[in-house]
Structure 1
Amino acid sequence: MTSSQKSCLDNDTIAAWIFLAPALILLSVFVLYPIAYLCYLSFTSGSFTRAGIHWVGLKNYWRLMVSPDFWQVIWNTIYFTVATVLPSLILPLGLAVLLDQTIALQGLLRAAYFIPSITSLVAVGLGFRWLFQTDGPVNGLLNVVNIAPIPWLQDPIWAMPVLILLSIWKQLGFNLVVFLAGLQTIPLNRYEAAELDGADSWQKFWYITLPGLRPTLIFAAVTTAIFTLRSFEQVYVITGGGPLNSTNLLVYYIYDQAFAQFDFGYAAAAATILLGVTIVLVSLQLKVSEE
């Protein structure tokens, strides 16, 4: 390599770093530094409203491991996530297959299903709280068919399904658009060949549509799981974690420990666990997508 070529490479490297510098600075300030500080806080005690911060090592993580409340929150979060993610994939997938056909009002139906995705979650939460209050419209409809009113938001059994229903409804439109985009990538000649071989609608869906949507399904599953894991607004607006801690999810638990109990180190330890779970989910998505 001649000296002139080396000089050109050096100039290109310098230019590349100059163009990357703004993005790297923003990434460091708003992503890397907060993550590093979060991990540091998880090994400390004290708060910004008391006398300083003190290093306590793994004490906060041990407190999490032996806390019954934390394990109930973990169970609540797992239940909420599984019960939300599966319908949030199955329902929009079925709708996407139907709306991918030539039907009347196709554009209007697509827009109508997408509207929940762009609606404020706080506004939706307030609407659901009104719908499911003891003297609300839902119990009014049950009364018409002679079913006794259900205390939806005061009963530990029924409060979580209300949050799950809201989350499914909120996520449906986004996943619908994702699946519709995925369906456009499947070549039509595959379906034509299957028809010539005598395949019915179910066989075409099972052997052509699902395999063709594999990357899309992985993306939708991971993004829905992350959206569900970070659920906060619906808990804050509708139930506040109650009744009897039955709807207390991990993000709301972190918020409560940090800004109600002012136990920032303990909250940071719980947030670090949530961060680790999210990183694992994203890593799985990338690994599966590469296969």
Structure 2
Amino acid sequence: MTTQSSSTPPVSLANPQPPHALAGSQRETVVAWLFLAPALIVLGIFVLYPIAYLFYLSFTAGNFTRAGTHWIGLRNYWRLVVTPDFWQVLGNTAYFTIATVVPSLVIPLGLAVGLNRAFAIRGALRTAYFIPSITSLVAVGLGFRWLFQTDGPVNALLKTVGIEPIPWLGSTVWAMPVLILLSIWKQLGFNMVVFLAGLQAIPVSRYEAAELDGAGSWQQFWHVTLPGLRPTLVFATVTTAIFTLRSFEQPYVMTGGGPLNSTNLLVFYIYNQAFALFDFGYAAAAATVLLAVTLILVYVQLQISREEN
């Protein structure tokens, strides 16, 4: 008797997902994209598109008073290279940024360390130091302009101690330090709060261990506080530098970029090129340089944060 053998299909060693599980995963992906869509649309319209259009505009010439624009390639960037005023503005911006960022980190850090301890009026002092960071920069600029005008309160105070009045805002030497002082005062409260948050995240056990090892207050600051604040310091440095690089209100309200271009900062320079001279392509090229510097700062922050993790 002949027996017909039936062929048995090979058993797969893999464990494929059931069809309903795969459908559920695809459904979750679709739902996730639906929830992300509004944010992505806003990001594309208000961030990505303006950046792309800025980059395109930097390769064109023309303005809104003429019939459109035309492509000129890298000429706007070459104009930046050969224009002395642009290099002076870059120098002003570098000086302004460095002279603002360093005190805007050191002073708030000292205040945060002092105000991190418990004493009677700690809350009132924290509030008082934070108030400048929530005030209007235009209003503060007008106030500083009144304080430092030739016949203002600062010169009146100097006169009482026998010092001749100084033309603060009309001097190529003193005008920039006044703008720097304003920016430091404006940024002080925000950085103080950031450092306070960082200090409170450092475990108390580290200070107790350091104290048991015989470390004094200064040694605890260098070997416990500063290492514990490293991510906070990176964040505060980058945000303060970006805030300083995009400074516009200070020269606009107080000096108009003068005297003799000595307080002309990069954002104010871009504004004048675009909306006073209507040279939008050249202004876009300068703005692209500013964007590149900002992206470099953000990249550095991300790299350092990645190393910390």
For the aligned pair, the TM-score class normalised by the smaller chain equals: over 0.9
Structure 2 counterpart of 1:165, one-letter code: L
Question: Which residue does the alignment assign to 1:139?
Answer: 155
Question: Which residue does the alignment assign to 1:258?
Answer: 274
What secondary structure is seen at the aligned counterpart in 2 of 1:231? Answer: coil
Give distance in 2, aligned partners of 1:195 and 1:11.
57
Alignment of 1:38-53 (within 5 A): 38-53=54-69
Question: Which residue does the alignment assign to 1:286?
Answer: 302
Give distance in 1, aligned partners of 2:144 and 2:106.
23
CA shift, 1:7, in A, is: 1.1
User: 2:206 matched to 1:190?
Assistant: yes
Structure 2 counterpart of 1:271, one-letter code: A
User: 2:114 matched to 1:101?
Assistant: no
Give distance in 1, aligned partners of 2:83 and 2:286.
12
Give distance in 2, aligned partners of 1:35 and 1:186.
39
Give distance in 2, aligned partners of 1:87 and 1:166.
12
CA shift, 1:97, in A, is: 0.2
Question: Which residue does the alignment assign to 2:5?
Answer: none
Question: Which residue does the alignment assign to 1:23?
Answer: 39
What secondary structure is seen at the aligned counterpart in 2 of 1:153? Answer: helix
Alignment of 1:259-278 (within 5 A): 259-278=275-294
What secondary structure is seen at the aligned counterpart in 2 of 1:157? Answer: coil
User: 2:236 matched to 1:228?
Assistant: no
Of the three residues 181, 185, 196, the one matched with 2:197 is 181
Q: Give CA-to-partner distance per residue, 1:238-277, whole Å, 9 cap, x none.
A: 0010000000000000000000000000000000110011
4+ residue segments displaced more than 2 Å: none
Q: Give CA-to-partner distance per residue, 1:109-133, whole Å, 9 cap, x none.
A: 0000000000000000000000000
Q: Give CA-to-partner distance per residue, 1:162-193, whole Å, 9 cap, x none.
A: 00000000000000000000000111111111
Stretch of structure 1 that moved more, 249-258 or 1-10? 1-10
User: 2:138 matched to 1:129?
Assistant: no
Structure 2 counterpart of 1:60, one-letter code: N
Give distance in 2, aligned partners of 1:102 and 1:229.
36
User: 2:32 matched to 1:32?
Assistant: no
Larger Rg: 2
What secondary structure is seen at the aligned counterpart in 2 of 1:51? Answer: coil
CA shift, 1:234, in A, is: 0.9
User: 2:18 matched to 1:2?
Assistant: yes
Of the three residues 42, 58, 61, the one matched with 2:77 is 61
Give distance in 2, aligned partners of 1:104 and 1:161.
35
Give distance in 1, aligned partners of 2:213 and 2:181.
41
Q: Give CA-to-partner distance per residue, 1:14-34, whole Å, 9 cap, x none.
A: 111111110110000000000
Q: Give CA-to-partner distance per residue, 1:9-54, whole Å, 9 cap, x none.
A: 1111111111111011000000000000000000000001123201
Give distance in 1, aligned partners of 2:265 and 2:120.
41
What secondary structure is seen at the aligned counterpart in 1 of 2:169? Answer: coil
Stretch of structure 1 that moved more, 85-94 or 194-203? 194-203
Q: Give CA-to-partner distance per residue, 1:68-89, whole Å, 9 cap, x none.
A: 0000000000000000000000
Give distance in 2, aligned partners of 1:121 and 1:86.
20
Give distance in 1, aligned partners of 2:171 and 2:67.
40
Structure 2 counterpart of 1:137, one-letter code: P
TM-score scaled to structure 2, two decimals? 0.93
Structure 2 counterpart of 1:117, one-letter code: S
TM-score scaled to structure 1, two decimals? 0.99
Note the residue ranges of structure 2 that are not aligned, 5 or more in a row. 1-16
CA shift, 1:104, in A, is: 2.2
What secondary structure is seen at the aligned counterpart in 1 of 2:70? Answer: strand
What secondary structure is seen at the aligned counterpart in 1 of 2:164? Answer: coil
